[in-house]
């Protein structure tokens, strides 16, 4: 439901009634073929909000080239006809009569069991902040505008130009924390979490766009917050590639001479004032709560925090204050894409958990007639050439293409359709299949990437196998890109049809295999993440086996005092353990070890050793939540003095004897102990927040205590920034140190002394302290066994890898395996719980099916395979095994490869590697591809 807004909600969790207002699109989605005639003819130009207003679009528009749904819309606020009653140009030119100015606003009521709110965020608008100067110079842009300037689909088509004079900028500055961490010029005290990384990304991508040694990029920052997985490496790469990072906040920003470029004035640590010119400046604007946050919160009656983000608890991070209404993404707090995606899955898990009783009641499936048996039949190809209104026919002579197709080998029928994809043409194709006994179909139209499924469906309805269709892409890759060369385009279209027919003649029916799914999950690791995943799956009605290597559940959470929001961890943990151990659907195995793992998604089998006994478990999916641990510091005198503690030891002491801690006169925290150093070049993510929270705790126990925090970059990301601010307000002293000038710790008799170089006063500072707390790095458990068993991947630091760092944050590269918690990367309690729920949701998508439908495009082994095994190493999915087989009759043993259909993704690396034609990919065999090559080159002499 696009162009729609929620206007009201009634009822309660499990049975809501939601009113939705659907604004008119003025274009019939069933008729629109996205040809773009309406936009081409529309006389009204308006700012294109998708390109951050840098260029113009028309009042009849699509949001962007790959928009979903790819259907145009008319912007009522800007349409000349709708505003002034005249024009209707689009209506005259639309080839399918899709324009409907009678379209009215519709109000619909829908009945749903729960609601997930994901309204996203709005960028901070710096226009009102005068010193930033963005109103005065066109060369000062926001990061969103810059993103569009860089984009290949943006207004500059990927050739970066500065707005003032369209010249390539050579010297670019980024200004961090614009609209974040700022109470003076705006009210956004929080950190937006993503800007440091996106600025680094933009600096690096800029270097890809602009060649030459004279390019210079400078990032002005307060703290670099590269606290995510692989983020610090990315930051170091940027430094190595020559991006300048300057810790300063430019205070005067003015247009450069002759109105182009920017002049900035800033002060360095040592007090020196610098005036510098840049060709361009990018304001790294922060994320604000969505513009609709207030009205949504009002409609749904949910609580927001002081920054208009939705209020949630660390233990239920996607639950809003109203039962049955879940919140996710940047509406919950500013965050980057992977966490938004994980949270979205978590919200899905919670919503599904609530509605388990009604699962599957409203979904539908479709049935098809039996497939015809084609055995012994010669190919009888039918060719359907689409005009796509005038999209194709306006350039390509479609009649000539049809006539040409009729003369091709195997073709028994050819015709032209105005729109091959329209519903009536689908019926027509089915009729022609019947009439002419067609058994292969070629559609010359648009791209198979969007339309092949539609035609496959038509074939299935007509009793043909779905894989007997080929498409010739004569629109996107012909008519649209050769608009000024109609003759050459027609010739190309003929070639394309000839190539498709040649391949179609060699097409054969393919069966989509299915693997049965065991609707049971194995969860490895009984910490917060493991229990969270097991509980959610169990609540959704799936059986879960929870494997814990220790004698008790809970893991690291036993050692934590409170979350950054101040919620005590212990009661929640105890409740969670109790629920896990008593849940009817969960089997807990303690003191257990995984011994073997075979099979693949839907059907894994493992042997598990429990107290010396081995048992076998069959399961459809597994969640890996093996956790991590606090490392043991090897510096700063750790282990030599009882006053030197790690974070977890500090938390224990706080719980056991807070009064004693409060008696200290002075306390020092040292950050990055063992993190962000050559042997652990990653950020442990949680320590900065834990430190400021602990420093505040000490200041509350004893306001007179001198508390020092020695840090490299404070990384209190997101709403944790508020704690950092509070700590400073309470008088905690923050002193930055460089990694090559680390603080020194000396134990002199009864005295504990810390010496650090203060970069502001530029001299060493000696601190006598009663307490020294070290932010020891989080390190992963050794996971060699797990990796060997599941063939899953880890990064260079030993953390388990996800399938895609942005879009599949809890899936692993091996299908059916999911990852959650610290074993993936260091993270706080709320993020671990989010990931656990997300992993459960993703596992549920596997376990919800009785059988997994596999795609038919898979590799298969032929008789020519002689077992040379060259393909084994190149297979990225480890889907190939070498087996010994006895030849029938003579009993001789020979080697052959076997491919696993569940693991194979049909990439064909094996086929390209094989020197003997021993392995091919269905639908893309060497013969089929060769036929296309030959057909393409038939006219070449």
Partner 1 sequence: MTTNHEPVILGFLCNWCAYAGGDLAGVSRLQYPPNMRAVRVMCSGMVHPDLVVDAFGKGADGVMVMG
Partner 2 sequence: MYEFKVGRLARILGVHRNTVSNWIRSGRLDARPAPAKRYQIGEAALRRFCALNHIAEDRVLDHLTVLPEAAASLTPTVAARFSTTGREESMTQKTIGSVMVVGGGIAGIQATLDLADSGYFVYLVEKSAGIGGAMAQLDKTFPTNDCAM
Site for partner 1, residues 768 to 827, rule: CB under 8 A: none
Binding segment (CB under 8 A) for partner 2, from list 145-153, 267-275, 408-416, 674-682 = 145-153
Cα–Cα distances (Å) from 85 to 44, 76, 80, 150, 556, in that order, read 14, 12, 7, 39, 68
Give the per-residue contact string, 363-402, with partner 2 (x = CB under 8 A; - = no).
Answer: x---------------------------------------
| 449 forms part of the interface with partner 1 (CB under 8 A) | yes
Q: Is 929 in the site for partner 1 (CB under 8 A)?
A: yes
Site for partner 1 in 53-82 (CB under 8 A): 65-66
- Binding-residue pattern over the window 97 to 126 for partner 1, x denoting contact by CB under 8 A: ------------------------------
Q: Is 429 helix (H, G, I), strand (E, B) or coil?
A: helix
Give the angle 363-364-368 at the CA atoms, nearest 5°: 160
Among 95, 119, 526, 918, binds partner 2 (CB under 8 A): 119
In the bound state with partner 2, the residue whose beta carbon lies nearer, of 63 and 372, is: 63
Q: State which of residues 108, 605, 898, 937 lies at the interface with partner 1 (CB under 8 A).
A: 937
Q: Which of 38, 116, 502, 839 is close enough to bind partner 2 by CB under 8 A?
A: 116
28 binds partner 2 per the rule CB under 8 A? no
Binding positions for partner 2, 502-541, rule CB under 8 A? 540
Residue entry with tokens 């069966």:
511
Choose which of 220, 231, 480, 542 interacts with partner 1 (CB under 8 A).
480
Asked if 892 touches partner 1 (CB under 8 A), the answer is no
SS3 190: coil
Q: Which of 260, 345, 439, 496 binds partner 1 (CB under 8 A)?
A: 496
DSSP 393: T
Task: Please name which of 786, 875, 730 lies closest in space to residue 595, comparing C-alpha atoms.
Answer: 786
Closest CB to partner 2 among residues 68, 893: 68
User: Are the beta carbons of 670 and 687 closer than 8 angstroms?
Assistant: no
Dihedral sign of CA atoms 779, 783, 787, 788 in order: positive
Q: Which stretch binds partner 1 (CB under 8 A): 89-97, 196-204, 694-702, 931-939?
A: 931-939
Shortest gap between Cβ of 345 and partner 2 (angstroms)? 5
Please give the structure tokens belonging to residue 819.
């990852």
Give the number of residues in contact with partner 1, rule: CB under 8 A: 48
Rank residues 341 and 773 by Cβ distance to partner 2 and give the closer one. Answer: 341
Residue 180 binds which entry of partner 2, partner 1, none, CB below 5-8 Å type-dependent: none
Q: Which residues contact 479 (CB under 8 A, 6 or more apart)?
A: 388, 391, 392, 394, 395, 396, 489, 493
Residue written as tokens 């029916």?
Answer: 509
Question: Least Å distance between CB 445 and partner 2?
Answer: 22
Stretch that binds partner 1, among 138-146, 297-305, 482-490, 516-524 (CB under 8 A): 482-490
Backbone φ and ψ for 855, nearest 5 degrees, come out as -70, 155
Give the x-and-dash track for 32-51 against partner 1 (CB under 8 A).
----x---------------
Structure tokens at 360: 């599957």
The phi, psi pair for 219, rounded to 5°, reads: -110, 120
Which residue has tokens 């060497």? 926
Q: Decide if 609 contacts 352 (C-beta within 8 A).
A: no
Residue 615: strand, helix, or coil? strand
- Does position 13 interact with partner 2 (CB under 8 A)? The reply is yes
Using CB distances below 5 to 8 A depending on partner kind, what does residue 818 bind out of partner 1, partner 2, none? Answer: none
In total, the chain counts a number of residues equal to 941
**CB of 815 vs partner 2, minimal distance in Å:** 13
Given partner 2, partner 1, none, residue 724, with its beta carbon under 5 to 8 Å by kind, binds none
Can residue 476 be called a binding residue for partner 1 (CB under 8 A)? Answer: yes
Of the candidates 733, 787, 813, 926, which one interacts with partner 1 according to CB under 8 A?
926
For residue 753, the surrounding DSSP H or E stretch is strand 751-758
- Nearest-approach distance from CB 200 to partner 2, in angstroms: 7
Is residue 347 a contact point for partner 1 (CB under 8 A)? no
Q: How far, rounded to the nearest angstrom, does the alpha carbon of residue 876 sit from its chain's CA centroid?
A: 21
Query: Token digits for 934?
Result: 């030959």
Residues 305-324 that bind partner 2 (CB under 8 A): 305-308, 311-313, 315-316, 319, 321, 323-324
- Residues 273 and 340: their CA atoms lie apart, in Å, by 41
Half-sphere exposure of 404 (CA within 13 A, CB side): 19
- Minimum CB separation from partner 2 for residue 333, in Å? 12
> What's the closest the beta carbon of residue 656 comes to partner 2, in angstroms?
26
CA 360 vs. chain centroid, Å, equals 27
Among 67, 648, 870, 882, binds partner 2 (CB under 8 A): 67
| Contact of 652 with 559, CB cutoff 8 Å | yes
HSE-up of residue 1 (Cα within 13 Å, Cβ side): 14
Q: In the window 184-243, what residues touch partner 2 (CB under 8 A)?
A: 187, 197-198, 200-201, 204-205, 228-231, 233-234
35: Cα separation from own chain's centroid: 30
Q: What are phi and psi of 687, to 5 degrees?
A: -70, -40
Integer Cα distance of 503 and 469 in angstroms: 9
Query: Closer to partner 2 at the Cβ: 345 or 600?
Result: 345
CB of 154 to partner 1, least distance (A): 11
Residue 477 makes contact with partner 1 by CB under 8 A: yes
CA angle at residue 815 from 812 to 820, to 5 degrees? Answer: 35
Cβ at position 729, least distance to partner 1 in Å: 51
Contacts of 613 (CB under 8 A, 6+ apart): none
| The one among 484, 582, 613, 892 contacting partner 1 by CB under 8 A | 484
DSSP-derived 3-state class of residue 831: helix
The residues of the shown chain that bind partner 1, judged by CB under 8 A, are 36, 65-66, 153, 447-450, 473, 475-478, 480-485, 488-489, 491-492, 495-496, 499, 857, 874, 906-909, 911-912, 914, 921, 923-924, 926, 929-930, 932-934, 936-937, 940-941
């Amino acid at each position: 439901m696009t162009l729609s807004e929620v206007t009201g909600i009634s009822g309660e969790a499990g049975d809501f009634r939601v009113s939705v207002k659907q604004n008119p699109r003025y274009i019939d989605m069933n008729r629109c073929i996205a040809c773009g005639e309406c936009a081409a003819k529309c006389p009204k130009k308006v700012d294109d909000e998708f390109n951050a207003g840098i260029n113009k679009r028309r009042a009849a528009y699509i949001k962007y080239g790959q928009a979903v749904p790819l259907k145009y819309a008319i912007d009522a606020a800007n349409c000349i006809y709708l505003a002034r009653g005249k024009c209707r140009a689009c209506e005259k030119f639309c080839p399918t009569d899709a324009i409907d100015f009678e379209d009215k606003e519709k109000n619909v009521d829908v009945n749903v069991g729960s609601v997930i709110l994901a309204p996203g965020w709005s960028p901070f608008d710096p226009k009102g902040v005068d010193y930033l100067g963005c109103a005065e110079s066109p060369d000062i842009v926001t990061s969103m505008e810059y993103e569009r300037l860089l984009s290949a689909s943006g207004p500059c088509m990927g050739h970066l130009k500065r707005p003032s004079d369209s010249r390539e900028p050579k010297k670019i500055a980024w200004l961090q924390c614009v609209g974040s961490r700022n109470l003076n010029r705006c009210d956004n005290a929080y950190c937006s979490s993503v800007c440091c990384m996106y600025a680094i990304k933009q600096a690096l991508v800029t270097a890809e766009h602009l060649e030459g040694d004279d390019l210079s990029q400078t990032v002005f920052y307060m703290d670099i917050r590269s606290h995510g997985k692989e983020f610090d490496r990315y930051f170091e790469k940027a430094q190595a590639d020559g991006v300048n990072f300057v810790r300063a906040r430019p205070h005067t920003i003015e247009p450069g001479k002759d109105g182009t470029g920017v002049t900035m004035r800033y002060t360095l640590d040592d007090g020196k004032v610098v005036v510098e010119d840049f060709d361009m400046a990018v304001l790294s604007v922060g994320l604000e709560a969505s513009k609709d946050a207030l009205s949504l919160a009002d409609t749904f009656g949910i609580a927001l925090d002081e920054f208009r983000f939705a209020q949630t608890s660390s233990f239920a991070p996607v639950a809003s204050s109203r039962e049955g209404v879940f919140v996710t993404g940047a509406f919950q707090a500013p965050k980057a894409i992977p966490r938004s995606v994980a949270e979205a899955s978590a919200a899905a898990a919670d919503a599904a958990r609530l509605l388990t009783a009604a699962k599957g009641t409203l979904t539908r499936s479709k049935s098809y007639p039996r497939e015809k048996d084609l055995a012994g039949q010669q190919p009888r190809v039918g060719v359907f050439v689409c005009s796509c209104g005038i999209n194709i026919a306006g350039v390509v002579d479609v009649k000539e293409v049809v006539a040409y197709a009729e003369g091709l080998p195997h073709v028994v029928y050819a015709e032209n359709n105005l729109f091959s994809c329209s519903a009536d043409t689908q019926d027509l194709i089915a009729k022609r299949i019947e009439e002419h006994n067609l058994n292969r179909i070629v559609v010359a139209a648009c791209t198979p990437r969007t339309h092949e499924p539609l035609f496959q469906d038509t074939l299935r309805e007509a009793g043909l196998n779905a894989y007997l269709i080929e498409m010739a892409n004569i629109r996107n890759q012909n008519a649209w890109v050769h608009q000024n060369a109609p003759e050459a385009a027609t010739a190309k279209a003929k070639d394309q049809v000839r190539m498709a027919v040649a391949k179609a003649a060699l097409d054969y029916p393919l069966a989509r295999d299915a693997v049965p799914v065991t609707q049971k999950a194995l969860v490895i690791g009984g910490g917060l993440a493991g229990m969270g995943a097991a509980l959610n799956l169990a609540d959704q009605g799936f059986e879960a086996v929870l494997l814990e290597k220790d004698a008790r559940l809970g893991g690291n959470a036993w050692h934590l005092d409170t979350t950054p929001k101040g919620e005590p961890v212990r009661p929640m943990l105890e409740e969670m353990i109790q629920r896990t151990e008593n849940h009817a659907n969960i089997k807990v195995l303690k003191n257990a070890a995984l011994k073997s793992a075979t099979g693949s998604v839907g059907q894994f089998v493992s042997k598990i050793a429990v107290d010396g006994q081995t048992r076998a478990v069959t399961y459809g999916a597994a969640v890996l939540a093996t956790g991590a641990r606090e490392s043991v510091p090897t510096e700063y005198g750790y282990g030599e003095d009882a006053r030197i503690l790690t974070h977890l030891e500090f938390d224990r002491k706080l719980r056991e004897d807070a009064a004693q801690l409060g008696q200290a006169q002075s306390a020092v925290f040292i950050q990055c102990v063992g993190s962000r150093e050559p042997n652990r070049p990653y950020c442990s993510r949680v320590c900065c927040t834990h430190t400021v929270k602990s420093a505040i705790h000490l200041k509350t126990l004893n306001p007179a205590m001198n508390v020092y925090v020695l840090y490299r970059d404070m990384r209190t990301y997101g709403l944790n920034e508020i704690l950092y601010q509070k700590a400073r307000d309470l008088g905690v002293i923050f002193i930055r140190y460089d990694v090559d000038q680390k603080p020194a710790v000396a134990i002199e008799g009864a005295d504990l002394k810390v010496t650090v170089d203060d970069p502001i006063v530029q001299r060493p500072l000696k601190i006598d302290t009663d307490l020294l707390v070290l932010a020891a790095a989080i390190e992963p458990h050794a996971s060699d066994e797990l990796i060997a068993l599941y063939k899953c991947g880890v990064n260079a630091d030993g953390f388990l890898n996800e399938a895609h760092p942005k879009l599949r944050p809890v899936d692993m590269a091996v299908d059916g395996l999911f990852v959650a918690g610290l074993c993936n990367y260091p993270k706080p309690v709320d993020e671990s719980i989010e990931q656990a729920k997300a992993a459960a949701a993703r596992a549920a998508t596997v376990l919800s099916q009785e059988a997994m439908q596999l795609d038919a495009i898979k590799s298969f082994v032929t008789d020519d395979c002689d077992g040379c095994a060259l393909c084994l190493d190149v297979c990225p999915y480890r889907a190939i095994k070498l087996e010994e087989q006895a030849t029938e009759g003579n009993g001789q043993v020979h080697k052959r490869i076997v491919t696993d259909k569940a693991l194979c993704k049909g990439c064909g690396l094996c086929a390209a590697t094989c020197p003997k034609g021993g392995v091919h990919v269905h639908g893309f065999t060497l013969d089929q591809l060769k036929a296309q090559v030959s057909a393409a080159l038939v006219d070449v002499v």
